[in-house]
Structures are given as C-alpha cells and as structure tokens.
Homo-oligomer: A and B are copies of this chain.
Amino acid sequence: MDQIKIFTPASVANVSCGFDVLGFCLDTVGDIMKVSKTENPGVTIGAVTGQELPKDPLKNVASVAASSLLKAHSSNNGFRIDIEKRIKPGSGIGSSAASAAGAVFAINELLGRPYSRNGLVKFAMAGESLASGAAHADNLAPVLLGGFTLVRSNKTLDIIKLPSPKDLVATIIHPKIELKTIHSRAILKNEIPLKKAVEQWGNLGAFISALYTNDYGLLSRSMEDKIIEPIRAMLIPKFNDIKHAAIDAGALGSGISGSGPSVYSLSKGEAKAKKVGQAIRTYYDEIGLDYEVHYSRINNEGIKIL
C-alpha cells in the first residue's frame, strides 16, 4: 500500500468535570487526509485546502507528528501529506489533534501497522505540543481510540477507553471567534480550593460510572465544572445564556469544548440534540455573530480509513 485516505475526526476535550483528562470523539466533523509514500525520505506537506496551514514541515502539526513517529521507527521512507482541512483551527474541537493523530495513523498504516492506536498517541503529542504550547493527550486519545477516553496520566500516557452510551448525541455550536489554547490556559489559576476539587472528582467519578451503567440521569447530574468553566466562560460570548438554554431545551448537560470558543451539549437522542441546537443558535442570531452548529453521535471508532 503506497497511499491512504482517511477521515480524522474532531473531538471534545475538557468535558465539564474532566478538565485535561476526559474527551470524546465526533462523527460528522473532521478532516480528510491523504498520505502517500514518496521516493525521497522525510515528510512534506502537499496540497492544503479549506484553511491556511504552514507548508514548512517544521511548522505544520501533521508533519511534526509524522516525523516524530518516523524518528522512533528509524524509517527511511518519505511521505507526502495532503490535507483537506475542514476543522477550523482555534475552534475548540481539536483541530490540531485531528491533524497530528491523522498523520501518525496514516503513516502507521502505510508502514504495516507497527504501533497500536494507543501507542500512536505519544508521536501525535509532538504535533499537539507545537500547536498548543503544552503537550496534552485529551483530544488525541479520543481521535485515535474513538468513544470517550480518559487520560489517567499525561506523563506516562496511561489512556483508558471508556464505553459510550449509544443514545448520546452532541450539539456543538462554534461562534466564529478564534481562541488560542495558550491564552485560555493563561487565565487559569494555579491554585484551586480543595473543596471544589473534591466536588469535581466526585462528579468525574460519577460521570465515568454513568458511562458504564448507561445512567443518563447520573451523567446529567455529574456534568458540572465549578473550577475551569466559571473562569473561561468570560471568553465565550453569551456562554451562560447558551448553557442554560441548552439545558432548558432538554440537554443532559453543556459546557465549554476544549478551551473554547465552541460550546458542546450532550442530549439523549437526535430529536433533543436538534432542539438544543435550535434553542442556542438564537443567541448568536440576535447579536449577529457568525457561527456553525454541528450534530454528532459519539464516534466509537475514531479515525476511519476511506
């Protein structure tokens, strides 16, 4: 096999109670990547459509991740990466993670699959690090493994795939302002109250239990974040209105996707997810802010070969 075409999906990280550890994978939003073996060694960026991305292999997330894999594998193969970039950078749904994970996934396939999907996370981290200033696996893990994932340790990359209750549908609203992860991170406080931390880990524990038991009520009650969300909410126009409108419209819960500005909601069933979308878009219609709305089931597979 000399060439592969893949769908590499968007993802939601920092899922409410699971800041820096919990993410899930989307199904209807993602990039298309085509990776081809080349005669000369090294990684090059070929055609890029949809968004402006650096062509310099040292500055492009996909090629940096790819090079990290090739270095470890001591491969002399060369690869060209063509990217149809559909996920907007800075939208908060894992644009750089899709590129980084997609590149290493595709090359791993072309090399005869020397690494497991889980084993690819560490190479993709090199790309993520370039994009966000700090290497975090909480978007990469759901893109590579699919479903909900927990990053137990970002240092040792101890990553757990969690079950996904089948009726969950995400509604994502993306107000068209750009937020850099590095800025959203800068406004966080280094110290937090122990009392709130205890509430947060109680909620995360309950959320994970609910995934295993398909307990939508418990899932809903545990979708709380009293630590990060109150700080980052100020970066997102109308966040509190949108969140309350989503819950009033029947969402199980709602929160900031990644480091924003996208806002995700989870609902039981597509009808409710659509109702949530209708309810929240009115807030950006009113103020005349451009936006996109996506609906997606949880993508339990992750990256797909086309």
Contacts and interface: CB of A to CB of B under 8 A. Distances in A.
**Chain A: number of interface residues, binned into ranges:** 35 or more
Contacts of A192: 191-194, 197
B194 A190 contact: yes
A255 B19 CA distance: 25
A201 interface: yes
Interface in A184-210: 188-195, 197-209
Interface stretch (A56-64, A92-100, A149-157, A288-296): A149-157
Contact of A150 (B19, B21, B200, B202): B202
B191 A21 contact: no
Contact of A212 (B151, B193, B206, B212): B212
Given A191-B194, A193-B190, A201 B204 contact: yes
A21 B201 contact: yes
A90 interface: no
B153 A194 contact: no
Given A153-B199, A154-B202, 12 more contacts: A19-B201, A21-B198, A21-B205, A150-B206, A152-B202, A152-B206, A152-B222, A158-B218, A158-B221, A201-B201, A204-B205, A209-B212
A266 to B, nearest CB: 17
A227 interface: yes
Contacts of A175: none
A111 interface: no
A127 interface: no
Pairs A-B, 5 closest by C-beta atoms: A152-B206, A201-B201, A197-B197, A191-B191, A21-B202
Contacts of A158: 206, 218, 221
A295 to B, nearest CB: 27
A218 B153 CA distance: 11
B193 A191 contact: yes
A162 interface: yes
B150 A205 contact: yes
A33 B218 CA distance: 34
Contacts of A202: 20-21, 150-154
15 contacts: A20-B198, A21-B198, A150-B209, A152-B206, A153-B221, A160-B218, A162-B209, A188-B194, A190-B194, A191-B192, A194-B227, A197-B201, A204-B205, A208-B208, A208-B209
A16 to B, nearest CB: 12
A169 interface: no
Contacts of A218: 152, 158, 160
A152 B199 CA distance: 7
A299 B197 CA distance: 29
A145 to B, nearest CB: 13
A204 B206 contact: no
Interface string A261-291: 0000000000000000000000000000000
A18 interface: yes
